[in-house]
Amino acid sequence: MNTSVEIAGVKFKNPVMTASGTFGSGMEYADFVDLNKLGAVVTKGVANVPWPGNPTPRVTEVYGGMLNAIGLQNPGVEVFANRDLKFLKDYDTKVIVNVCGKSVEDYLEVVERLGDEERVDMLEINVSCPNVKEGAIAFGQKSAALYDITSRIKEVAKQPIIMKLSPNVTSIAEMAKAAEAAGADAISLINTITGMKIDIHKRKFALANKTGGLSGPAIKPVAVRMVYEAAHAVNIPIIGMGGIANAEDAIEFIMAGATAIAVGAMNFHDPYTTEKVVEGIEEYMTRYGVQDINELRGIVE
């Protein structure tokens, strides 16, 4: 049985990844999951310098999911390279580094700094964080801006580039096409959907940032639809995510057209989720006699 998939020349032992920002750099989940069993660890977003993120409360629960407004707190690329990448050296899994910034230059600085890091297999460019005003509006919701930042990153990047798309757009197909046209090696989607919660007893927003990103099972139908639309708009590989809780969900994304998938908020519900998804995919393949996971991709037309 073959569960391995390839994206831009990088071979993953299976299609199961961690969604950026929900798994630290793997360190925090090493007690629960054997990282060697995962297709890839996708790290929390890292910027050129340390970011303090947003005030608290930063997270709140909603029906079938959660809202977060972490605001991309991160220790900066230097600490990240010396600590998190070093930690990941010992593991036999691919490493995708999620990159964030407030200006094109910020992004370029991180991409260049990581260019010679051997432990970095791919870069995922987060132009879609709804919790950082600059990042989201400027790059992730206008196709011209997305095209621009993608092509500028491609000029300097040594690793293949995944553009992470925002679902908060009228046409995901248009955004996917812009990324592809600008040379992105792959796209990943969806980032969180902007949401809000009000505490009617305290008469306050549940999050200090007022709005936050919705994730978890609640958003899965939207994510599957967008993966399907993107898969029909572009030819580059897609990493699908949004509410994946088990192998059935993962296979749904693959059948919609994703080459790989990532588990996000459901790690918080069950820290073993990623490994269970890996096992569950194999069970599904055995049950239905699927020899190669790649046969399932986009099978539902």
Partner 1 sequence: MSKKSMAAARVLSQNLLAEGIYDLWLETPIAQDACPGQFVGVYPTNKSTLLPRPISICEVDKERSAIRLVYRVVGSGTAEFALYQPEDYIKILGVLGNGFPLEAAAGKKVVVMGGGIGVPPLLETAKRLAAAETAVKPVKVSAVMGYRNSETFLSEEFAKYADMFTATEDGSIGTKGNVIDAMREQNIEADVIFACGPMPMLRAIKNYAQEKGIKAYLSLEERMACGVGACLGCICKTTKVDHHSHVNNARICTDGPVFDADDLDM
Ligand X SMILES: Cc1cc2nc3c(=O)[nH]c(=O)nc-3n(C[C@H](O)[C@H](O)[C@H](O)COP(=O)(O)O)c2cc1C
- With binding defined as CB under 6 A, does residue 234 bind ligand X? no
Helix axes 172-181, 143-156, angle to 10 degrees: 30
254 sits in the region (left: phi over 0; alpha: psi -120 to 50; else beta) called: alpha
Residue 211 binds which of ligand X, partner 1, its own copies, none (CB < 5-8 A, kind-dependent): its own copies
Q: Residue 251 belongs to what H/E stretch?
A: helix 247-256
Q: Nearer Cβ to ligand X, position 135 or 298?
A: 135
Q: Which of 5, 7, 16, 19 binds ligand X (CB under 6 A)?
A: 19
The answer to whether residues 231 and 298 touch, using CB atoms and an 8 Å cutoff, is yes
The answer to whether residues 163 and 146 touch, using CB atoms and an 8 Å cutoff, is yes
User: What is d(CA 120, CA 178) in angstroms, rounded to the nearest whole number?
Assistant: 25
Residue 5 contacts by C-beta under 8 Å, 6 or more apart in sequence?
11, 12, 14, 15, 39, 259, 260, 293, 294
Catalytic residues, by residue number, are 129
- With binding defined as CB under 8 A, does residue 97 bind partner 1? no
- With binding defined as CB under 8 A, does residue 65 bind its own copies? yes
* Nearest alpha-carbon partner for 23 in 249, 208, 277, 207: 277
Give the angle subtended at the CA of 245 by the CAs of 244 and 248, to the nearest 5°.
Answer: 80
Here's the x/- map for ligand X, 187-216, by CB under 6 A: it reads as ----xx----------------------xx
- Torsion angle (degrees, nearest 10) of CA 137, 7, 215, 245: 180
**What does the DSSP 8-state code read for residue 53?**
-
Chain center to CA of 141: 17
User: What is d(CA 76, CA 97) in angstroms, rounded to the nearest whole number?
Assistant: 12
Q: How many residues bind its own copies (CB under 8 A)?
A: 43
Q: Nearer Cβ to ligand X, position 140 or 298?
A: 140
- With binding defined as CB under 6 A, does residue 166 bind ligand X? no
Q: Which of 36, 221, 269, 292 binds its own copies (CB under 8 A)?
A: 221
Hey, which residues between 242 and 271 contact partner 1 (CB under 8 A)?
A: 265-271
- With binding defined as CB under 8 A, does residue 64 bind partner 1? yes
Number of CB atoms found within 10 A of residue 133's CB: 12
The answer to whether residues 178 and 150 touch, using CB atoms and an 8 Å cutoff, is yes
Hey, which residues between 55 and 74 contact ligand X (CB under 6 A)?
A: 68, 70, 72
Q: Which of 7, 241, 254, 258 binds ligand X (CB under 6 A)?
A: 241
Residue 255 binds which of its own copies, ligand X, partner 1, none (CB < 5-8 A, kind-dependent): its own copies
Whole-number minimum distance, CB 160 to its own copies, in Å? Answer: 28
Residue 193 binds which of its own copies, partner 1, ligand X, none (CB < 5-8 A, kind-dependent): its own copies
Residues that bind its own copies (CB under 8 A): 62-65, 67, 141-142, 168-171, 193-198, 200, 203-205, 210-212, 214, 217-222, 224-225, 228, 243, 248, 251-252, 255-256, 284, 299-300
Residues that bind ligand X (CB under 6 A): 19-22, 44-45, 68, 70, 72, 98, 126, 129, 164, 191-192, 215-216, 219, 241-244, 263-266
Residues that bind partner 1 (CB under 8 A): 21-24, 28-29, 31-32, 44, 50-53, 56-61, 63-66, 68, 70, 73, 75-76, 79, 216-217, 265-272
